[in-house]
C-alpha cells in the first residue's frame, strides 16, 4: 500500500512538473468552457423564444445542458486518455528508469497500481476542474444534483477503464508516440463498436455492442446508477491491469 502511494505521488508530481498536466488542464477547460457556453446560450435563447410565443412547455436544465455537456465530456475523454497514459511505462523504458523500479523491493503490481492510480487522479482532476462551470448553473438555476453526480461517476469510470487499457499499451513499447496512437485507436474502436447495434442484432453485433464503452455510459448518462454497467467498467479496469501485469512479467522473462 505504502509503495503504491510512493509511486503514485512521484507520477503525479512528474505530470505537474512536466507541462503535460497543465497543458491538458488548460486545453480541456477551454474546450469544455466553450461547449458549456454554447449549450447555455442555446438554452437561454430557447427559453426566451418560448416566452415570446407564450408557450409554457417545460424546460429542464439537467436534460438540456448538463446531460449533453457531460456526454461531450466522456467523448473528450477519448482524446485525453492517450495523452495521459502514453508515457506511463514507455518513458521509463526509454530512460532506463524501469531498471530502478524493477530492481527495487517493490512488487510489479504495486508499480502498476501506483501508475494507473496517478493517471486516474489526473484525469478526475481535469474533469472536476472543468466542471467548476456547473457552479454557475447552481447559482442561477435550480438543477438536480443527483443525476449529475451519477453521470460524473460514469465519466470517471469510463476514463479509469480506458486508462487501464492505456497503461497496458504503454508497457508494449518504449516509444510514447506509438503508445499514444495505439491507445487512441483502441479508445476509438471501443467507442464505435456501439454503432453496430443500430442496424444489426446478431449475436456478434450484440457482443461488439456490449464491449463498447459508450453502450454502458447510457445509463449513467440518463442519471441512473446501474450496477451492471459499473461492473462492466470495473472489469475492464481489472482486465487492463491484469494484462499490464502479464506484460511486465513477460518483459522480465524476455528482455
Closest to other proteins by CB, 26 or 97: 97
**C-alpha span between 167 and 84 (Å, rounded):** 9
**C-alpha span between 207 and 123 (Å, rounded):** 28
Note whether 43 and 140 are within 8 A (CB): no
Q: Round to the nearest angstrom and report the end-to-end CA distance of the chain.
A: 28
What the block records as the C-alpha cell of 12 is 503525479
Min separation Cβ 21 and other proteins, Å: 12
Min separation Cβ 250 and other proteins, Å: 9
Query: Residues in the site for other proteins, rule: CB under 8 A?
Result: 3, 6-7, 10, 13-14, 17-18, 93-107, 172-175, 247, 251-255
Min separation Cβ 90 and other proteins, Å: 10
**C-alpha span between 76 and 195 (Å, rounded):** 18
Closest to other proteins by CB, 3 or 64: 3
Cα dist from 185 to 143, 169, 190, 243, whole Å:
36, 11, 9, 18
Position of cell 505521488? 9
Question: Comparing C-alpha atoms, which of 82, 79, 224 is closest to residue 153?
Answer: 224
Query: Concatenated DSSP letters for 179-201?
Result: HHHHHHHHHHHHHHGGGGGGT--
Closest to other proteins by CB, 174 or 222: 174
Min separation Cβ 104 and other proteins, Å: 5
Closest to other proteins by CB, 70 or 122: 122
Position of cell 446560450? 41
Min separation Cβ 164 and other proteins, Å: 18
SS3 65: helix
**C-alpha span between 22 and 155 (Å, rounded):** 20
Closest to other proteins by CB, 98 or 150: 98
Closest to other proteins by CB, 11 or 221: 11
Closest to other proteins by CB, 168 or 217: 168
Min separation Cβ 191 and other proteins, Å: 24
Note whether 86 and 128 are within 8 A (CB): no
Min separation Cβ 251 and other proteins, Å: 6
Amino acid at each position: 500500500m505504502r509503495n503504491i502511494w510512493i509511486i503514485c505521488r512521484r507520477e503525479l508530481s512528474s505530470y505537474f512538473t512536466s507541462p503535460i498536466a497543465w497543458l491538458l488542464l488548460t486545453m480541456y477547460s477551454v474546450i469544455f468552457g466553450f461547449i458549456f457556453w454554447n449549450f447555455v446560450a442555446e438554452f437561454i435563447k430557447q427559453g426566451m423564444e418560448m416566452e415570446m410565443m407564450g408557450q409554457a412547455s417545460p424546460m429542464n436544465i439537467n436534460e438540456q445542458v448538463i446531460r449533453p455537456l457531460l456526454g461531450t465530456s466522456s467523448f473528450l475523454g477519448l482524446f485525453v486518455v492517450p495523452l495521459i497514459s502514453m508515457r506511463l511505462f514507455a518513458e521509463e523504458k526509454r530512460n532506463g528508469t524501469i531498471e530502478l523500479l524493477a530492481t527495487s523491493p517493490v512488487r510489479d503490481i504495486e508499480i502498476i497500481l501506483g501508475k494507473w492510480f496517478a493517471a486516474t487522479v489526473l484525469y478526475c482532476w481535469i474533469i472536476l476542474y472543468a466542471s467548476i462551470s456547473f457552479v454557475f448553473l447552481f447559482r442561477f438555476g435550480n438543477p438536480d444534483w443527483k443525476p449529475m453526480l451519477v453521470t460524473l461517476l460514469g465519466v470517471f469510470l469510463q476514463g479509469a477503464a480506458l486508462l487501464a487499457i492505456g497503461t497496458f499499451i504503454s508497457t508494449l513499447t518504449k516509444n510514447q508516440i506509438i503508445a499514444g496512437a495505439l491507445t487512441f485507436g483502441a479508445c476509438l474502436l471501443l467507442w464505435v463498436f456501439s454503432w453496430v447495434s443500430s442496424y444489426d442484432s446478431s449475436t456478434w453485433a450484440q457482443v461488439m455492442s456490449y464491449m463498447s464503452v459508450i453502450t454502458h455510459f447510457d445509463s449513467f448518462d440518463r442519471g441512473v446508477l446501474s450496477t451492471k454497467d459499473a461492473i462492466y467498467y470495473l472489469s475492464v479496469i481489472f482486465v487492463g491491469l491484469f494484462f499490464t501485469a502479464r506484460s511486465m512479467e513477460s518483459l522480465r522473462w524476455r528482455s
